[in-house]
Copies of this chain bind each other. A is one copy, B any other.
């Protein structure tokens, strides 16, 4: 009924259109959901971190590619028995609805980012999201020594930018003293308030997950 699967960085977990034989939960690692245009331009439409869920009740296929970014371990269940379980336990159905609505809110916040934010605001929003999600997952609680789980190129695909623009804007925020880099993949937030002001969001929130 329950089994674990592992994937190497860059390995595709599911292709768009694939049959969903399994539903799964991310145990370890980071994976991306992405969509691609005919000529190869791609846009990440979601990021899976540990505890996130793959699969959608009543759907047999996925509408995007799912790719391992780091080493990923999934905890998988066969779809059919899982869906029967949903029928009998309304508590789980409710939880899945909750997940879908959270993803929907996150997607809509990201639409605002993609459609209206400047490169600088996009980067600031992304970093702020990392602070928040890292803390939620309890890996670290003090905004210092955060990990960038993505390369510059992957960040660009997430934010609708090019990798050069990502590099330039990250360094701009660094030069302004908002963040500091430990190495290329590790940073700390020096001035969280200034970072938030650079996101363009209002003071009280509306923060994407």
Which A residues lie at the B interface, using CB under 8 A? 16, 33, 35, 37-39, 41-43, 45-46, 56-59, 63-64, 87, 90, 93-94, 96-98, 100-101, 103-105, 107-112, 114-117, 159-160, 200-203, 206
Contacts and interface: CB of A to CB of B under 8 A. Distances in A.
12 contacts: A35-B206, A37-B116, A38-B202, A57-B101, A59-B101, A93-B94, A100-B101, A100-B104, A104-B107, A107-B111, A111-B111, A114-B115
Given A108-B64, A116-B160, A97 B96 contact: yes
Contact of A109 (B35, B39, B59): B35
A59 B98 CA distance: 9
Contact of A90 (B90, B100, B114): B90
Contacts of A107: 104, 107-108, 111
Contact of A200 (B37, B46, B206): B37
A94 B87 CA distance: 10
Contacts of A45: 108, 111-112
A201 B100 contact: no
Contacts of A57: 94, 97, 101
A41 B101 contact: no
Contact of A108 (B35, B37, B41, B112): B35
Contacts of A98: 58
A135 B139 CA distance: 50
Given A58-B101, A64-B108, A100-B104, A114 B160 contact: yes
Nearest to A93: B93
A43 B208 CA distance: 15
B100 A93 contact: no
Contacts of A160: 114-116
